[in-house]
Amino acid sequence: MYYWFAWFVSNVLPFITAVVFFGGIAYRVIHWWRSPRAAVSLVVPPQRRSAGSAMGEIATEVVTFRRVFKGSKALWAVSWLFHVSIFVFVVGHFRLFIDFSWLWNLLRLTPEQVDTLALLGGGASGAVFMLGLVALLVRRLRMPVRSLSVPSDYLLLLLLLAVAVTGNYMRFLMHIELEPYRAFFSNLFGLRFGVPVQNPIFLLHFLLVQLFLIYFPFSKLVHVIGGGLTLKWTLR
């Protein structure tokens, strides 16, 4: 029974996840793009911004969280570190798909040094990510934010927290050989069925990540994509 469940999570569910994730995002983007503009413009004269100016403002907001900083410096610190940790460990996960041997050779790093760097960088980002989620959950439980929260807000935080806990468990408490995982993802991206990785914690982690990706297009987090579409209204 476990084998077939693992086989479904490893070989079938990823394709369902991809269809729902990309299909859901496409639907949201098309819906936003077709949304009518308000009849009254709220843009302050004297002139509209250029595409470069608007793009620069959006990039600055994404990198610095300037508006959050103006509102609450404590929330800004948590949010900024939280998002940086996401970027670091997402980039780090690319080692499961690609071995950047050319980069390690350029930096003259030995395999042992690369593993140490991955442990330090990935471990730090994973810990910050988990602590950031705990801080956001505590904030969500306190007034006045609690009065504005809905069950889906807690569900999303708990799902991400479960992803963080299982990921950190594998990183800090298990010895992971990358080759079986690289072989697994090589088959997956090659659209080939393969033998599931024999690691129940990884299976649980992989399942939770896929559940998050399925839910993502229908959650509040989709704002990270919708923000770029403000160019449509800014430049029209």
Range of the domain at 208: 52-235
Query: Looking at the predicted structure, is the pLDDT value of residue 43 above 60?
Result: no
In a domain, 155, yes or no: yes
Per residue in 114-142, pLDDT tens?
A: 777 777 777 788 888 888 888 888 888 87
In a domain, 30, yes or no: no
In a domain, 1, yes or no: no
First to last CA, the chain: 57
CATH number of the domain at 154, please. 1.20.950.20
Domain count, the chain: 1
Query: Looking at the predicted structure, is the pLDDT value of residue 97 above 90?
Result: no
189 or 91: which leads in pLDDT: 189
Which amino acid belongs to residue 206?
A: F
**Helices 200-215 and 13-34 meet at what angle, rounded to 10?**
20
User: How buried is residue 160: exposed, middle or buried, by Cβ count under 10 Å (0-12/13-18/19+)?
Assistant: buried
Q: Residue 199's closest CA among 228, 178, 221?
A: 178
